[in-house]
Chains A and B, each alone.
Chain A
């Protein structure tokens, strides 16, 4: 079984987010970049599935050379090889087009992605990729098991879940709980240095969106402290002052 995991390099979850004075660009200086946590779960799942089904795991990233440390991390976790599409990711459609172009030339039995990236949170790449490839997509997969060429998944829905059955190949989005996190061991880290990382050039894609600017949420006014003995007045107070309940 050939499994592809789509990964992205994102600011560390503890990073403070800052922009240039004109608010047009993210300031990357001083920020540690990590493997998108949702992708990491998907990758952990892929490594488990490959072990169970005598398969291989390839990771693919759309990014410039600065994303290679994150790709090496994915190789250390257990991917067999990696592909980097040499382009700065412009938007979700651009990324989905690059990956679909690669997959149409190099077929896989299963494609896993994080259900979203922690920088843009669009949840769009897995779905667009599936659409471009004419495949089903289970974006909010909570669990995934494969028997032969059929997969069974639990999928998150409003107020519950669905149990789904689908034939390979398809695209699934990973989130917490789908697999145990894998922490790279020393052998993994050493072998990651020599595992194959292929760089391919990007295909042309018509531009669909343009980033105008960033903005930060307005800071809240100072917190109003309430004594424990007055806790009983909380809801009245919120009704009076905020009129939201």
Chain B
């Protein structure tokens, strides 16, 4: 028996979320006293694969067949299920990234397993196997017992700290047979905006709403985000108006995020918006209306006009950055 963790790469590199998920899986492996096996799919260099060992993966399976070089949830799920069977895994763990969410339910069906989606903490394995996950779009948590012998978990990004735990990673090639039917989707083009930080996994997020008055005023929000190394986000009215892309909309019908810092400028804090950001560790709200409901859900509040406060925050961020260097 073992714990299998699938680690994602982007263009051959592991992101922080990969080390986060290895750390999480290593903690589960320790908790149930089973060895940890990591699985990488796609083309990843030897130096990069060795990094998995820094977080506790002593064994790394490298599924680097040419046909797996482009992301393909259907084929990746087959590879993960094959690895789970080969390693006799009782727990299969991955990140609840866009890719992970497209893969985990398939793996669960293939393994006849129970699926725990969007889990936010270690499972309770004291007498059964109970996971804690978000429910009602961030307004609640659900504790769910996974009943099948094999469990597949997808973890909300930023839910677990990266824990260095250096072991030597023994990398071995893993080349399962894959059905050609798994290649029904053709990737014609991949567009990755360089330099931007992926919103679902961002540790810091600067978000803005209608208080910005128009899309032409987003320059200062982007500047502040860049200085902090933060992703940018927005409220629903802003994406509905076409000021910002839908992919930036956080809230109940957009995406749910759980960064360390959520800095909201000119967002009143409707219940639908709060739902998507309430699991942020620290919330800062800047709004000129002292009665804005968002202040009740915030850790820090500044009552003031965005056009007066944001330039001060930009200066502060520059000074803060300088003090860290």
A228 with B145: CB separation less than 8 A: no
Q: Tell me if B192 and A160 are in contact (CB < 8 A).
A: yes
Within 8 A of A (CB), among B48-66: none
CB atoms of B140 and A223 under 8 A apart: no
Nearest chain B CB to A196 CB, angstrom units = 30
**Chain B residues engaging chain A, CB cutoff 8 angstroms:** 10, 15, 71, 73-74, 77, 97-99, 101-106, 108-110, 113-118, 130, 132, 134-148, 181, 184-193, 196-198, 200-201, 204, 228, 239, 245-247, 249, 252-254, 256, 260-261, 270-272, 275, 278-279, 281-285, 295-304, 308-309, 312-313, 315-317, 319-320, 323
Contact partner of A136 (CB less than 8 A), chosen from B103, B185, B278, is B185
A216 with B299, Cβ < 8 A, contacts A123-B117, A137-B73, A165-B188 known: no
With both beta carbons as reference points, the residue of chain A lying nearest to B106 in the complex is identified as A131
Q: Does A56 contact B (CB under 8 A)?
A: no
Determine the residue in chain B with the shortest Cβ distance to A151. Answer: B185
- A127 B105 Cβ-Cβ under 8 A: yes
Q: Is the CB of A166 within 8 A of B186?
A: yes
**Binding-face segment, A69-77, A81-89, A103-111, A231-239:** A231-239
* Mask: chain A, 129-140; 1 = CB below 8 Å from B; 0 = not: 011101111111
Q: Is A164 a contact partner of B300 (Cβ separation < 8 A)?
A: no
Question: Can you list, as one digit per residue, whether each of A116-144 has a CB less than 8 Å from chain B (1) or not (0)?
Answer: 00111111110110111011111110100
Q: Give the distance in Å from the alpha carbon of A245 to the alpha carbon of B321 in the complex.
A: 11
A158:B198 contact, CB within 8 angstroms: yes
Query: Measured between C-beta atoms, what is the minimum distance from B6 to chain A in Å?
Result: 15
Residues of chain A within 8 A (CB-CB) of B98 are 139-140, 156-158
Q: B185 is contacted by which of A38, A166, A216 (Cβ under 8 Å)?
A: A166
**Contact yes or no, B301 A225, CB < 8 A:** yes
Chain A nearest CB from B105 CB (Å) reads 4
- Report B265 CB to chain A, min CB distance, Å: 11
CB pair A124–B136 under 8 Å, yes or no, is no
| Inter-chain contact A208/B146, CB cutoff 8 Å | yes
For the complex with contacts A16-B271, A122-B117, A209-B145, 4 further pairs of A-B residues with Cβ separation under 8 Å are A121-B137, A121-B256, A176-B239, A228-B308
Which residues of chain A are within 8 angstroms of B143 by Cβ–Cβ distance?
Answer: 211-215
Q: Within the assembled complex, what's the spacing in Å between the Cα atoms of A158 and B247?
A: 10
Given A124-B117, A159-B193, A160-B192, CB of A215 within 8 Å of CB of B282 = no
- Distance A228 CA – B305 CA, assembled complex (angstroms): 9
Interfacial residues of chain A within 212-232, with CB under 8 A of chain B in the complex: 212-217, 220-221, 223-228, 231-232
Binding site for B on A (CB under 8 A): 11, 13-14, 16-17, 19, 37-38, 92-93, 96, 118-125, 127-128, 130-132, 134-140, 142, 152, 156-167, 170, 175-177, 207-217, 220-221, 223-228, 231-239, 242, 244-245
B300 engages A226 (CB within 8 Å): yes
Q: A226-B302, A238-B261 are in contact. Are A131 and B193 (CB under 8 A)?
A: no
| Across-interface contacts of A158 in B (CB, < 8 A) | 10, 15, 97-99, 198, 200-201
A231 near B146 with CB under 8 A, answer no
* CB proximity of A72 to chain B, nearest CB, Å: 22
B24 CB to closest chain A CB (Å) equals 18
Asked whether A224 lies within 8 Å of B189 as measured between CB atoms, the reply is no
What CA separation (Å) do A210 and B148 show in the bound complex?
A: 11
Residue numbers in A under 8 Å from B104 (CB-CB) = 124, 127
Q: In whole Å, how far is A140's beta carbon from the nearest beta carbon of chain B? A: 5
Of the residues A121, A138, A177, A212, contact of B130 by C-beta under 8 Å: A212
Note all chain A residues with C-beta closer than 8 A to B134.
121
- A134 CB contacts on chain B under 8 angstroms: 181
- Bound form: Cα–Cα A161–B247 in Å: 10
Contact call A234/B302, Cβ cutoff below 8 A:
yes
Complex: A205 Cα to B261 Cα, angstroms:
42
Given A165-B185, A228-B303, A228-B308, decide whether A139 and B146 contact each other with a Cβ distance below 8 A.
Answer: no
Q: Nearest chain-B residue to A153 (Cβ)? A: B185
Which A residues lie within 8 Å of B187 (CB)?
162-164
What are the nearest 5 A-B pairs in CB distance?
Answer: A127-B105, A160-B192, A177-B246, A228-B304, A158-B198
Query: Using Cβ atoms and an 8 Å threshold, which residues of chain A touch B77?
Result: 131
Cβ-defined partner of A244 (8 Å) among B137, B186, B261: B261
Asked if A217 meets B313 with Cβ closer than 8 Å, knowing A37-B253, A118-B137, A163-B189, the reply is: no
Report Cα–Cα, A51/B316, bound state, in Å. Answer: 54
Q: Is the beta-carbon distance between B184 and A211 smaller than 8 angstroms?
A: no
- Report chain B residues within 8 Å CB of A96: 105, 109
